[in-house]
Amino acid sequence: MMKILDHFWLKVTALILGLLLWFHVATEKTYNYELPLPLEEVSLEQGLALSQAPPDSIMAVVSATGKQLLRQKWRERGLRVVATQFSSGRHELQLTTSNTFLISPSADVSLDEIVSPSSVTLQVDRRSEVMVRVEPDIITEPADGFAVSEITAGTPPEVKLIGPQSAIRRITEVHTVTKELAELRNTLTLTLPLAAPDSYGVTLEPDSVTVTVRVVPVKTRVFEDVPVVIYNSPPGQGILAQPPSVRIELTGPPEDIDLLNRNALIASVDYTKTDSITGRTLLKIDCPPKFRVRRASVDSVTLTAE
């Protein structure tokens, strides 16, 4: 037992060195290996673009040393397919090692064979550019006593849309990503990324805009005798609301609420939701989005047959 433990660490070191030598020899050999590689690029003539997505990946056979097979960079960068011979239209391209290449070539890695798919369909279109307007997609909830008076259209108000002509000609505006802002008390400016259009090969320049949300203290205005509108009442039967009109306190930006027409307010009830015992139904008040209902003289009305 003692002889086995004699020079223990020397033996361990020799074993490790032997394993390292074996690993070095094994990884210096060249292997044929079949694996999926991402298709990252399709090269076309200048002024052209793809209007439909090509396959995400291609199954290929590569020759590489063991060391290269263990590395990830050349795999992740994937393949490039050259299709510069095509003009606009639909084309079928047979994939071979003469038109398909590693994006990160190496002396120790070579592309030997394309396994599948053996061909790809390319929908080639003219590359075009157009300016489109930006629409902010912001949901605001001001704090009590405040209101949002304005949301700017974005800076810049228009951005450049680049991509296949058939795709971008249908797009007239782009939106920012949806942003929710709550408890607003002060005007703020923020940079929002743009939501990419749902079309292949379409890009935006720039890809974000600056939006300003103007927040101001609210002003309260009282609207007297707003009539109650009854929806879904039985045909041919007169239905009366009690009370027939309501008093509404509305808050909003001072410069806007002073100009608000009372006809923009609608106080309504739904006859089909009337309580069969009490004859009462909830009152609903609709107003333009810049304003908030602070108080109404009643929250429900009684409906009776005329």
- The CATH number assigned to the domain holding 298 equals 2.170.120.30
pLDDT, one tens digit per residue, over 149-166 is: 888 877 899 999 999 999
* Residue range of the domain that includes 168: 127-217
Q: Are residues 225 and 203 in the same domain?
A: no
Q: Considering the domain boundaries, does residue 156 fall inside one?
A: yes
Last residue of one domain, picked from the residues 191, 217, 243: 217
Burial call 155-177: b when 16+ CB within 10 Å, e when fewer:
eeeebebbbbbbbbeeeeebebe
Last residue of one domain, picked from the residues 217, 238, 271: 217
Side chain identity at residue 182, one-letter code: A
Please name every residue paired with 221 in a beta bridge, in sequence order, or none if there are none. 250
What integer is the mean pLDDT of 88-117? 90
The reported pLDDT for the residue numbered 255 is 86
Side chain identity at residue 99, one-letter code: N
**Has residue 4 got a pLDDT over 90?**
no
| Residue 160 to residue 129: CA distance in whole angstroms | 7
Q: Give the angle 276-267-213 at the CA atoms, nearest 5°.
A: 130
The reported pLDDT for the residue numbered 32 is 80
pLDDT, one tens digit per residue, over 202-214 is: 999 999 999 999 9
How remote is the C-alpha of 249 from its chain's centroid? 38
Phi, psi of 255 (to 5 degrees): -70, -20
Q: Considering the domain boundaries, does residue 204 fall inside one?
A: yes
Q: Are residues 180 and 204 in the same domain?
A: yes
- Using a pLDDT cut of 90, give the percent of the chain over it: 62
Q: Are residues 148 and 185 in the same domain?
A: yes
Question: Is the Cα dihedral 38, 40, 45, 49 positive or negative?
Answer: positive
Q: Are residues 73 and 113 in the same domain?
A: yes
Nearest to 123 by CA among 198, 16, 190, 49: 49
| Residue 190 to residue 146: CA distance in whole angstroms | 19
Q: Are residues 93 and 169 in the same domain?
A: no
The reported pLDDT for the residue numbered 27 is 46
Question: What is the pLDDT confidence band of residue 48, given thresholds at 50, 70 and 90?
Answer: very high
Strands (E), 152-299: 158-164, 173-175, 179-184, 188-193, 203-205, 208-217, 219-231, 239-242, 245-252, 266-270, 280-282, 284-286, 292-296
The reported pLDDT for the residue numbered 9 is 55
Starting at the earlier edge strand, list the strands of the sheet with 146-151: 146-151, 208-217, 188-193
Nearest to 97 by CA among 119, 112, 77: 112
Alpha helices in 139-179 (DSSP H): 165-168
Task: Write out the two tokens for 252.
Answer: 């909003």
In the chain, how many domains are there? Answer: 3
